[in-house]
Chain A
Amino acid sequence: MSDEMDEIWSLYADDGAQALDAMETALLALDPDDGASDDGAPDAATIAGLFRAIHTFKGNARVLGLGVIESCAHLAEDLIGLVRDEGKPFDRAMHRLLVETGDALRQMLEISAASRQDADPALCADLLARLRQKVETTRSGAVDEAGAGDAGPDAPDRSRAPDAEGGESAAPDAAASVSDAPSQAVTPVAVDMAYLAIFHDMAEAALATCAAADDAASRRALADLAHAARQLGLAEWLSLLDPLPSPLSPDALAALTAAMRALLDRGDAAPPPTAPAVAEADAPALAADGRPGSGGGPAPDDFLTRIEGPLSAIARHAIDLSVAERPDPERLAEAVALVVAEAAARGYPRIADTCDLILAAGTPATLRRAELQLYEELASVEVIERGAASAQGPASILAGWCADHVFDTLDEMGATLDRLKRAESGDAATRALSRLTRLIHHACRFYGLDTAAQLAMSLLDLFERGQTSGRPADAILLRIAQGFVTTLELVFDALREGEVPDTTRLEQLFAEASEISFTASGLLTATAVERRLGLPPEFHRVLSPDSVAAASQALAEGLGFWILRADVNDDEQIAERLFGFIGAGAIRAITNVTVFRGRDTLFDFLIASALSEADLAEALALMDPGGGRLTLMRRLEVAAGPEDGAPAAGGEADPGGGAGDGPADPAQSVALAGDIPIEMLERIGEIAAGQAMVHGMIGDLVEEDPSARIDEFLRASQRDSAAAAAGLRRYAEDLGRRLRALLLPETQILGQMGELQQMAADRRARPLDVVLRPLGALVSAEARNRGADVRLTVSGGELSVDVAQLETLKRVLRPLVLALTAGTPPRSPARRMHLSARRGEDRLAVTLDDSGGGAGTAAAAVDAAMREVERTGGDLRQVDLPGGGTRLHLTLPISLVVMQGMVVGVGGVRYVLPVESISGILQPEEGAIRRLSAGGGDEILRLASGAILPLHRIAPPWRDGRPEAAGRVIVTLAHFGRSVAVPVDEVVGQQLVLLRPLRGLMARLRGLTGVALLAGGEVGMVLSSAVLCGADGPDTGRPGREGPAEGMGCPRASAGPVPDWRMEPTGLR
């Protein structure tokens, strides 16, 4: 034994004696027979001093491998810990037992210091048993014979913070027996500063011995130090000391001692300054009464507080297992059961699962892994329940442990990567990598190496994905991972040396890992795409290899790029339209980011398209007629890339040029995107079935031969007509019944046809915004290109019209507003245009107000528009406004409207009156109709109420306005406050009619809205109630007429203008 070891043993003896002195002093102060309190509430400071004294003694014994002595001290420590941390009563029995223990420890100290051997277990077996018994009874709170506690074993142990036990370890070969376990000694998660301090002293002593140049003594000192390092799990020290250089030449010794000095000087024998050493000082804050939970600390029912005792027991079990002592499985099971019960009460099933792993662990290494896993779970609990990790909490303990063992972990990771490289045990190696990278991650967090911590998790992710997909780790990933290990070794080495580490390489590796999927695919990197598009930074995180490939392709094709905001999460219809549009290829959705607006989720799409901005805006308006759901946020200016010689894509807008070579007309593609809805198909099916039934009934009737039947009756009655009459009557009645039976299905068919018409018309209906709104974008784009300030606003875009009419409007308005905008000189005063739309009974009226210098510069466009409008039966007028500017009035006949019409007959001709305008149907009393001689022969109808209505007799134009109605029935109509009485010969009935616009000459007839095919195949002329009532004008969508209409072969009513539907050219007025 070297002098130095003598010194250590001497130190052990001295320190131990001092500790026992302190223990005695404290026990004296606590003696219940000497005036100390016996009420179970001893002086907290004295108790704390007593605890520290025993704890110090225990640590010294452990470092020298004196297990029996340590166990005795350990139990005493446990006992006083119950008083200190749980407020258990300090009773006489406990006092006596501790005094006895102090005496025994002093005796054992003297023997061990002299013999340098542990105490004989037999000598203290009884004391150990009684101490263990007392601990259990005190913990349970039961009363023993001595008046102290003694009862059931099941109460939870919350005596202390996570155990302060340091690193008793198993022999190296015990750990090495597990394939992927590190080769160094196994230590429990918690670390004890006290033991490290003792080790520090031992190391100083060993250095002093080596300096004395006594080879044998140096070897002994170093061997003893290696033993202690192994017990504490100090891998770096072990790597220096085990094995010792042989021979231990002066040079080798000098190098070794220099390395030892370096380790000592940087404080390597103790945890880093911020490391959470879990000793008594790290226990939860104690209140004056010695109970945890007050003074701002965790609440007493805090989960982590409640399981401190069991955690301590688990840690102790780990120590026992690692030092090859016979651990107490029942005690472990009890501790685990407590943790499981607490976890179950909180609804933490995974903690219970991890506890199962602890129970199942048969080796120190597997137990350590399970313990680490438990601490990971507990770290999550800490964040959830306490809001953040604390310096003494499980997250810190875990991180501290990982930091202390990081070199071992890195070694193991390096070896595992080598195995993967050689394609050995792929799955097992990947699982090991996942575990190791997590440990490294915690170590990095401990040192504040955030990039490295994140990189560790990125590597874990990449390896895990590879494993899930069944792909072996590729060379790039392995290279990055190995670079990570090598770099981290240097970084941690620098940290241990107290230097500032160079983390540049880590940053590079992180960038490589971020781009690994692109690099592996041989694509442009995400960074390159971002740079060329000037992509907003929020898109960085969603650029996948797929999206980068799509963007690269779009760049190569010279497409334009936009950011499109879609608020479609709660509008399935618009979402379907958008996806249909994307599916049709009109635009390419490269990627998207999520944007939150309150509880709403929006998407910002990066899109590429060959469409011009105006066409794109128009397409969006088609999909989102109401506006606000699909918005073009901005156009991205594409920078020319060195990768290609192509011109910058999408740089030029094409405001007037249409879609060019791009996809089909977006309006059309949207219009055609939907299929015929199932309701329409069902209705068609019903009509077909009804029609088949009618066909069958008619066929039966056709097969009837009335002549033959009459002959039969006559023959049967022997030509007695009177006798035949009864039979003939029955036959006629039967025929009548069968004919009447036809009416029911026929009526049903009529109804179904009407519904079908309505559905078809609805399917073709689109809001005007589809055309009007994009004009705003179109004008703005064109004005921007010309350096002018022109803006176009719209109103009335919500009106719904047939797509054919929309197309007409688009053909008319688009070149018109473009021509007007083009006529605006650069830097001229701001020009404002406003489009407003109204819908009349049979016409659509659109007004374009232009504050600019008149339409003179766009005369050609106006003329072209007029021709187009006239071709479709519409009307375009231009008016100069008094304050400057121009107003264009445009009217178009509404096409394909389904309406409820009342079919009436006048002079053998069928007419249809809009049901919504009918205010009454009556039979006039005698004298109710009068002719006003003063009114130029106009007729009036006096109603029973005394009200007077102008009478308008309708007549077809080919009869030159001569009224033909007999006037047996009067239909009164009302429209916009004006009323009129219309005599008819008969009221046929109400039906849904599909109004068809008039063509050719018929289109010029005023008062006729259109024609409709009526039931039975007749054609009915649909009359305009607005014209009949003389209410046509700006509000009705019809070209306004100043003053009452001229007569047309019928007298003009005195109460207002009389409608006129003579053949009258309309055209441009």
Chain B
Amino acid sequence: MPHRVMIVDDAAMMRLYINSFIKGMPDFKVVAQASNGEEALHRLAEGAEVDLILLDIEMPVMDGLEFLRHAKLKTRAKICMLSSVVVSGSPHAAKARELGADGVVAKPSGTVSHDLEEKIGDELARTMRVLMAA
């Protein structure tokens, strides 16, 4: 059974790209999407069963870090930050770790990531699999 993934990103195109990328991974399946942290919390409260959450940081209404704070209590799902502001050594990356992010991957910026697979596909896939294996 594939691991169930929820994508939380305010950029519709980004959700599209990530979804498309995950479709190429037979061991993962996107089962839910949300455009901000609040919406994602509602999805969880409604009973969305997910194993992995790919989480953007900069979102309106409720950002990814605030969602992380709540979700770390509310779900057993692994949470992987996937954001352009979590470059290695960045304050956001540190904050995400402080709040308990299980994985951190910096998504490419500049093109709203239509080159997601090309630039970070390997890293993202590896991180997702490592987190699920942990």
Residues on A close to B: CB < 8 A? 347-351, 353, 376-377, 380-381, 383-384, 441, 453-455, 457-458, 460-462, 464-465, 467-470, 513-517, 541-547, 550, 566, 568-570, 572, 575, 579, 582-583, 588-594, 596, 598-601, 603, 605-606
Contact of B12 among A348, A572, A589, A605 (CB under 8 A): A572
B42 within 8 A of A: no
Cβ of B90 and Cβ of A541 under 8 Å apart? yes
Of all chain B residues, the one with the shortest Cβ separation from A539 is B109
A516-B88, A572-B12, A591-B109 as given contacts; A468 in contact with B61, CB under 8 Å: no
Cβ of B94 and Cβ of A348 under 8 Å apart? no
Cβ of B114 and Cβ of A353 under 8 Å apart? no
Bound CA–CA A575/B17 (angstroms): 13
Contact of B112 among A460, A543, A579 (CB under 8 A): A579
Contact of B109 among A350, A353, A514, A544 (CB under 8 A): A544
Cβ of B74 and Cβ of A347 under 8 Å apart? yes
Of all chain A residues, the one with the shortest Cβ separation from B81 is A461
When A and B form their complex, which 7 residue pairs have the shortest distance between CB atoms, in order from nearest? A589-B110, A457-B94, A594-B58, A517-B88, A591-B109, A514-B89, A458-B94
A583-B114, A599-B60 as given contacts; A547 in contact with B109, CB under 8 Å: yes
Cβ of B87 and Cβ of A468 under 8 Å apart? no
Bound CA–CA A570/B104 (angstroms): 27
A408 to chain B, nearest CB (A): 22
Bound CA–CA A625/B115 (angstroms): 26
B46 to chain A, nearest CB (A): 13
Cβ of B59 and Cβ of A544 under 8 Å apart? no
Return chain A residues, CB-CB under 8 Å to B73: 347-348, 350-351, 377, 380-381, 384
Within 66-110 of B, Cβ neighbours of A (below 8 Å) are at 69-70, 72-76, 84-85, 87-100, 103-104, 106, 108-110
Return chain A residues, CB-CB under 8 Å to B31: none
Contact of B76 among A349, A384, A588, A605 (CB under 8 A): A349
16 further contact pairs, Cβ within 8 A, besides A380-B69, A461-B89, A579-B114: A353-B76, A377-B73, A380-B100, A455-B94, A457-B95, A461-B104, A468-B123, A516-B88, A517-B88, A544-B109, A591-B110, A592-B112, A594-B10, A601-B10, A601-B11, A601-B59
Return chain B residues, CB-CB under 8 Å to A568: 13, 112
B23 within 8 A of A: no
Return chain B residues, CB-CB under 8 Å to A542: 84-85, 87, 109
B19 within 8 A of A: no
Cβ of B98 and Cβ of A457 under 8 Å apart? yes
Return chain B residues, CB-CB under 8 Å to A347: 73-74
Contact of A350 among B69, B76, B90 (CB under 8 A): B76
Contact of A575 among B13, B104, B119 (CB under 8 A): B13
Pairs A–B under 8 Å by Cβ, sample size 27: A349-B75, A350-B73, A457-B95, A460-B94, A460-B97, A461-B96, A461-B104, A462-B89, A468-B126, A468-B131, A470-B126, A516-B88, A541-B85, A541-B87, A541-B92, A542-B84, A544-B106, A546-B108, A546-B119, A547-B110, A572-B12, A583-B114, A588-B110, A592-B112, A594-B84, A600-B60, A601-B59
Of all chain A residues, the one with the shortest Cβ separation from B16 is A572
Return chain A residues, CB-CB under 8 Å to B104: 461, 464-465
Of all chain A residues, the one with the shortest Cβ separation from B99 is A380
Of all chain A residues, the one with the shortest Cβ separation from B10 is A601
Return chain B residues, CB-CB under 8 Å to A462: 88-89
Contact of A591 among B84, B114, B127 (CB under 8 A): B84
Of all chain A residues, the one with the shortest Cβ separation from B87 is A544
Of all chain A residues, the one with the shortest Cβ separation from B58 is A594
Return chain B residues, CB-CB under 8 Å to A600: 60
Bound CA–CA A468/B88 (angstroms): 13
A350-B73, A470-B126 as given contacts; A592 in contact with B11, CB under 8 Å: no
Cβ of B103 and Cβ of A579 under 8 Å apart? no
A377-B73, A601-B60 as given contacts; A441 in contact with B98, CB under 8 Å: yes
Of all chain B residues, the one with the shortest Cβ separation from A512 is B89
B81 to chain A, nearest CB (A): 10
B85 to chain A, nearest CB (A): 5
Return chain A residues, CB-CB under 8 Å to B88: 461-462, 465, 516-517
Cβ of B91 and Cβ of A582 under 8 Å apart? no
Return chain B residues, CB-CB under 8 Å to A383: 69
Contact of B87 among A454, A517, A582, A594 (CB under 8 A): A517
Bound CA–CA A529/B50 (angstroms): 40
Cβ of B97 and Cβ of A461 under 8 Å apart? yes
Of all chain B residues, the one with the shortest Cβ separation from A579 is B114
Return chain A residues, CB-CB under 8 Å to B103: 464, 468
Cβ of A384 and Cβ of B69 under 8 Å apart? yes
Bound CA–CA A59/B88 (angstroms): 48
Of all chain A residues, the one with the shortest Cβ separation from B73 is A348
Bound CA–CA A470/B119 (angstroms): 17
A441 to chain B, nearest CB (A): 7
A605 to chain B, nearest CB (A): 7
Task: Tell which of A381, A467, A541 has the most Cβ of chain B within 10 Å.
Answer: A541
Bound CA–CA A517/B85 (angstroms): 14
Task: Tell which of A377, A514, A545, A598 has the most Cβ of chain B within 10 Å.
Answer: A514
Return chain A residues, CB-CB under 8 Å to B106: 544
Bound CA–CA A110/B56 (angstroms): 67
Bound CA–CA A239/B22 (angstroms): 54
Cβ of A461 and Cβ of B60 under 8 Å apart? no
Return chain B residues, CB-CB under 8 Å to A606: 110
Cβ of A575 and Cβ of B110 under 8 Å apart? no
Cβ of A569 and Cβ of B69 under 8 Å apart? no
Of all chain B residues, the one with the shortest Cβ separation from A570 is B12
Cβ of A582 and Cβ of B111 under 8 Å apart? yes
Return chain B residues, CB-CB under 8 Å to A590: 110
B5 to chain A, nearest CB (A): 17
A277 to chain B, nearest CB (A): 25
Bound CA–CA A535/B111 (angstroms): 18
Bound CA–CA A774/B10 (angstroms): 31
A779 to chain B, nearest CB (A): 30
A302 to chain B, nearest CB (A): 15
Return chain A residues, CB-CB under 8 Å to B12: 569-570, 572
Return chain A residues, CB-CB under 8 Å to B112: 566, 568, 575, 579, 592, 603
Cβ of A350 and Cβ of B72 under 8 Å apart? yes
Bound CA–CA A464/B76 (angstroms): 19
Bound CA–CA A670/B47 (angstroms): 45
Bound CA–CA A248/B104 (angstroms): 54
Bound CA–CA A462/B94 (angstroms): 9
Of all chain B residues, the one with the shortest Cβ separation from A462 is B88
Bound CA–CA A462/B106 (angstroms): 12
Bound CA–CA A350/B114 (angstroms): 35
Return chain B residues, CB-CB under 8 Å to A593: 58, 84, 109
Return chain B residues, CB-CB under 8 Å to A583: 114
Bound CA–CA A569/B35 (angstroms): 11
Return chain A residues, CB-CB under 8 Å to B75: 349
Task: Tell which of A349, A376, A381 has the most Cβ of chain B within 10 Å.
Answer: A349
Return chain A residues, CB-CB under 8 Å to B97: 457-458, 460-461, 464
